[in-house]
C-alpha cells in the first residue's frame, strides 16, 4: 500500500486549489469532452496510473450524470514505456495496464493529474497504440504547469499554473490521499 | 560496480538468501507481465537496446525458449549460445568464455550449466552484467521456483500455511531444492514421497517430512508436485525399474480423490505420462501445468526487467 503524502506548510507547501475548485473543473471538462465528441459516440476515458486513474473514474461518473451514458474506462501504466528507466534510482513497481475494450476506431481521452514535461503523455500514447489504432487521442489534465520537453498540448485543462521549472506541484485526490487539493512548493532561489 | 536497484541484488543465482519481500516483488511484477502475453501485439519497448545472452550449456528446450520469448517481449536483443557450436566445445574454459562475453557488454547472461555453482563462478568474473541462473547442476533453478510459486498463489490465493508434497526424484532435482527454500521462506511445509533409496536421511536433516508411501504422504496436501524420474540415471540403481516405481508412486486421480480431494497438481519439468503421473491427472481440472508454462514467460520477463534496468545510474547511496 502506498503511504499517504504529508504536505506541511512549514516545508514550504502552499495550497493553491481547493476541493470545490477541483469538482468544478471536472464538471467543466466533462461538459467540454461531450461537446467536442458529439455527446460521447465511440468515446473512452483512460487514466494514467495512479492519480489519473481516479480522475478518469470521476469523469466517467460525471458524464453518466450529465448524459446518462456509460463510457468505457481504462487504466494505463506507463512504467514499461518510460524513457528514463536506465536512469531511475530504484526498481519501479509495475502495476499493469487495463483496457477492457477494443481500442480500434475509438476516441480516447487520456487523463492525468499534472502536465509537465509531456514525457508521461508520450509514454501513455505509445502504450495505448500497442493495443490498436484509436481514431483520435485527446488529453485532459487537472493542471498544466508548463515546461514542456516534447511537442504535446492538452485539449482540456482544469487549471493553468505558472511555475519555475524547479518548483514542485502535487495533486492530492481523496481516493488515494484522503483530500482533494493542489499544492505548490516554490524552489529556493539563491538570490533571496 | 553496477547499480542494480535497492530492492534486489545484481544477480539472481538462487532462491536461497531472498527475503519474503523480495520474492513477493518478483511475483507481483511477474503478475503484471501476464497481461502483455494476452495482447495481440505481445511486445513492450521496455528493454530496447539491452543485450541478453542465453548461455545454455546443458540441454533445455522449455526454459531456453521461455527466456528467449521473455527477452523478445521486452524488446531486448537476445543471443543464444549452446555448448554445441561454441568454443567451449573446442576446449575453452568457462572463465575464458566469460571474459570474452564481458567484452561484448551484455546486460544479462542467462545461464544453464551441468555443474552446480557455475553461475556463481561466472558472477565473480562479470562485474557489469546480471547473471541469471537458469539451472545449475543439482543446485538451484530459481526462475522455476518463482513460476511455481506464482502458479500456486494464483490458484490458491496464498503461499503460506500450505502443505506442498513432492513425489519423485528429489535427489537429482534442482527444482525441488529451489521450491523447498521458497516455500519454507514463505511459511509453508514441504513433504517428500519417494522410495527410501531416493528419500535419504539428509532430506529429514533439511526439515522435509519424508514418506515412503502415497497414502500417508498425500493426506492433507494442498499442492502435489510431480518430479521427473530421470531414466537416464536408472543405472544408479535408485529404483529397480520404472514400472515398479510407477506401481507404487504414480500420481493417480483415485489416490488424490481419496487422500487430498481439494489439492492442485503441478508438473514442472517434462513429465512421462503413466510413469510419474497419470494422464487423467495431467489433463484434469486440478492440473496447472499449462498455467506454469504461461507463468514461466511472465516470471522471466520480470526477472530480466528487474535485473537490467537502472544500470547507468551512479548516485551516492
Q: What is the pLDDT of residue B234?
A: 60
A135 versus B6: the higher-pLDDT residue is A135
- % of chain A with per-residue pLDDT over 90: 74
- Tens-digit pLDDT profile for residues A5-58: 778 888 889 999 999 999 999 999 999 999 999 888 999 999 998 899 999 999
Q: What is the pLDDT of residue B82?
A: 81
Q: What is the pLDDT of residue B183?
A: 97
- Tens-digit pLDDT profile for residues B109-134: 999 999 999 999 999 888 889 999 99
Displacement of CA A10 from its chain's centroid (Å):
27
The residue of B4, B8, B21, B35 whose CB has the most chain A CBs within 10 angstroms, and thus the best one to mutate to test that interface, is B35
Q: What is the pLDDT of residue B317?
A: 29
ipTM of this model?
0.71
Report the chain A residue with the minimal C-alpha distance to residue B75: A80
Question: Measured between CB atoms, which of B6, B28, B311 is closest to A90?
Answer: B6
What does the alpha-carbon distance between residue B147 and residue B129 come to, in Å, rounded to a whole number? 23
Question: Measured between CB atoms, which of A88, A91, A94 is closest to B32?
Answer: A94
- Tens-digit pLDDT profile for residues B228-267: 887 666 666 678 888 889 999 999 999 999 999 999 999 9
Q: Is the pLDDT score of A1 beyond 60?
A: no
Packing angle, helices B142-156 and B62-73, rounded to 10: 80
- Tens-digit pLDDT profile for residues A156-171: 999 999 999 999 999 9
What does the alpha-carbon distance between residue B161 and residue B59 come to, in Å, rounded to a whole number? 35
* Chain B residues whose beta carbon lies within 8 Å of the beta carbon of residue A94: 29, 32-33, 305
Q: What is the pLDDT of residue B5?
A: 46
Element (H, E) at A115: strand A107-115
Question: Measured between CB atoms, which of A85, A98, A130 is closest to B41?
Answer: A130
What does the alpha-carbon distance between residue A148 and residue B265 come to, in Å, rounded to a whole number? 54
- SS3 label, residue A85: helix
- Tens-digit pLDDT profile for residues A55-101: 999 999 999 999 999 999 999 999 888 877 766 666 677 888 889 99
In Å, what is the CA distance from B44 to each residue of A129, B69, B310?
Answer: 11, 12, 17
Q: How far is the alpha carbon of A89 from chain B, nearest alpha carbon, in Å?
A: 6
pTM of the model: 0.85
* Chain A residues whose beta carbon lies within 8 Å of the beta carbon of residue B44: 80-81, 127, 130
Query: CB distance A98–B35 less than 8 Å?
Result: yes
Q: What is the pLDDT of residue A86?
A: 66
Query: What's the CATH number for A17-85+93-185?
Result: 3.40.50.2020
* Chain B residues whose beta carbon lies within 8 Å of the beta carbon of residue A104: none
Q: What is the pLDDT of residue A192?
A: 46
List, by residue range, all CATH 3.40.50.1370 domains of chain B: 20-140+294-308, 142-289
Q: What is the pLDDT of residue B1?
A: 33
Question: Measured between CB atoms, which of B8, B29, B315 is closest to A89?
Answer: B315
Report the chain B residue with the minimal C-alpha distance to residue A130: B41
Q: What is the pLDDT of residue B59?
A: 82
What does the alpha-carbon distance between residue A134 and residue A99 come to, in Å, rounded to a whole number? 12
CATH topology of domain B20-140+294-308: Rossmann fold (3.40.50)
Q: Which cell is B115 given?
A: 555443474
Closest among B26, B25, B77 to B47, alpha carbons compared: B77
The residue of B105, B154, B310, B311 whose CB has the most chain A CBs within 10 angstroms, and thus the best one to mutate to test that interface, is B310
- Write down the mean pLDDT value for chain B: 89
CB neighbours of residue B70 within 10 Å: 30
B142-289 placed in CATH 3.40.50.1370: yes
- Backbone phi and psi for residue A162, each to the nearest 5 degrees, phi listed first: -90, 130
Residue extents of the structural domains in chain A: 17-85+93-185
* Chain A residues whose beta carbon lies within 8 Å of the beta carbon of residue B305: 94
Q: What is the pLDDT of residue B306?
A: 92
* Chain B residues whose beta carbon lies within 8 Å of the beta carbon of residue A89: 310, 313, 315
Chain A residues interacting with chain B (CB cutoff of 8 angstroms): 77, 80-81, 85-98, 126-127, 130-132
Q: What is the pLDDT of residue A6?
A: 78
Question: Measured between CB atoms, which of A81, A85, A93 is closest to B309?
Answer: A85
Query: CB distance A130–B44 less than 8 Å?
Result: yes
Query: CB distance A98–B7 less than 8 Å?
Result: no
Query: CB distance B7–A90 less than 8 Å?
Result: yes
Q: Which residues of chain B have pLDDT under 50?
A: 1-5, 312-317
* Close Cβ partners of B223 (under 8 Å, ≥ 6 residues apart): B152, B156, B162, B163, B164, B165, B263, B264, B265, B266
* Chain A residues whose beta carbon lies within 8 Å of the beta carbon of residue B29: 93-94
Amino acid at each position: 500500500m502506498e503511504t499517504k503524502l504529508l504536505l506541511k506548510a512549514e516545508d514550504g507547501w502552499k495550497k493553491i486549489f481547493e476541493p470545490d475548485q477541483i469538482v468544478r473543473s471536472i464538471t467543466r471538462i466533462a461538459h467540454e469532452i461531450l461537446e467536442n465528441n458529439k455527446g460521447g459516440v465511440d468515446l473512452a476515458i483512460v487514466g494514467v496510473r495512479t492519480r489519473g486513474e481516479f480522475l478518469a473514474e470521476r469523469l466517467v461518473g460525471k458524464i453518466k450524470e450529465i448524459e446518462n451514458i456509460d463510457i468505457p474506462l481504462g487504466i494505463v501504466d506507463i512504467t514499461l514505456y518510460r524513457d528514463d528507466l536506465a536512469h531511475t534510482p530504484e526498481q519501479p513497481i509495475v502495476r499493469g495496464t487495463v483496457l477492457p475494450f477494443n481500442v480500434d476506431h475509438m476516441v480516447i481521452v487520456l487523463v492525468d493529474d499534472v502536465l509537465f514535461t509531456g514525457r508521461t503523455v508520450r509514454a501513455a500514447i505509445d502504450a495505448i497504440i500497442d493495443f490498436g489504432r484509436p481514431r483520435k487521442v485527446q488529453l485532459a489534465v487537472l493542471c498544466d504547469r508548463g515546461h514542456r520537453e516534447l511537442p504535446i498540448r492538452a485539449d482540456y485543462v482544469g487549471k493553468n499554473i505558472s511555475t519555475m521549472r524547479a518548483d514542485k506541484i502535487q495533486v492530492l485526490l481523496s481516493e488515494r490521499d484522503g483530500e482533494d487539493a493542489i499544492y505548490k512548493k516554490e524552489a529556493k532561489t539563491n538570490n533571496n | 560496480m553496477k547499480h542494480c536497484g535497492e530492492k534486489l541484488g545484481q544477480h539472481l543465482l538462487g532462491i536461497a538468501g531472498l527475503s519474503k519481500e523480495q520474492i513477493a516483488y518478483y511475483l507481483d511484477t511477474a503478475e503484471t507481465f501476464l497481461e502483455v502475453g494476452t495482447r495481440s501485439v505481445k511486445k513492450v519497448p521496455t528493454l530496447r537496446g539491452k543485450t541478453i545472452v542465453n548461455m545454455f550449456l546443458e540441454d533445455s528446450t522449455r526454459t531456453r525458449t521461455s527466456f528467449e520469448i521473455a527477452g523478445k517481449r521486452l524488446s531486448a536483443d537476445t543471443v543464444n549460445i549452446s555448448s554445441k557450436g561454441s568454443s567451449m566445445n573446442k576446449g575453452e574454459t568457462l572463465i575464458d568464455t566469460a571474459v570474452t562475453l564481458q567484452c561484448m557488454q551484455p546486460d544479462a547472461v542467462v545461464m544453464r550449466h551441468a555443474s552446480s555453482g557455475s553461475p556463481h563462478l561466472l558472477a565473480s568474473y562479470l562485474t557489469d552484467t546480471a547473471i541469471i541462473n537458469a539451472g545449475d547442476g543439482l543446485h538451484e533453478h530459481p526462475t522455476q521456483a518463482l513460476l511455481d510459486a506464482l502458479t500456486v498463489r494464483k490458484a490458491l490465493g496464498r503461499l503460506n500455511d500450505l502443505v506442498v508434497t513432492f513425489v519423485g526424484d528429489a535427489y537429482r532435482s534442482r527444482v525441488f531444492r529451489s521450491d523447498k527454500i521458497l516455500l519454507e521462506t514463505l511459511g509453508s511445509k514441504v513433504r517428500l514421497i519417494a522410495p527410501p533409496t531416493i528419500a535419504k536421511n539428509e532430506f529429514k536433516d533439511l526439515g522435509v517430512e519424508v514418506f515412503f508411501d502415497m497414502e500417508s504422504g498425500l493426506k492433507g496436501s494442498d499442492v502435489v508436485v510431480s518430479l521427473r524420474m530421470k531414466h537416464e540415471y536408472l543405472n544408479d540403481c535408485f529404483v529397480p525399474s520404472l514400472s515398479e516405481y510407477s506401481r507404487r508412486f504414480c500420481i493417480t486421480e483415485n489416490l488424490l480423490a481419496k487422500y487430498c480431494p481439494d489439492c492442485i497438481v503441478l508438473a514442472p519439468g517434462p513429465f512421462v505420462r503413466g510413469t510419474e503421473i497419470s494422464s487423467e491427472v495431467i489433463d484434469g481440472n486440478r492440473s496447472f501445468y499449462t498455467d506454469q508454462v504461461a507463468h514461466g514467460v511472465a516470471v522471466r520477463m520480470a526477472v530480466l526487467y528487474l535485473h537490467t534496468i537502472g544500470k547507468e545510474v551512479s548516485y551516492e547511496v
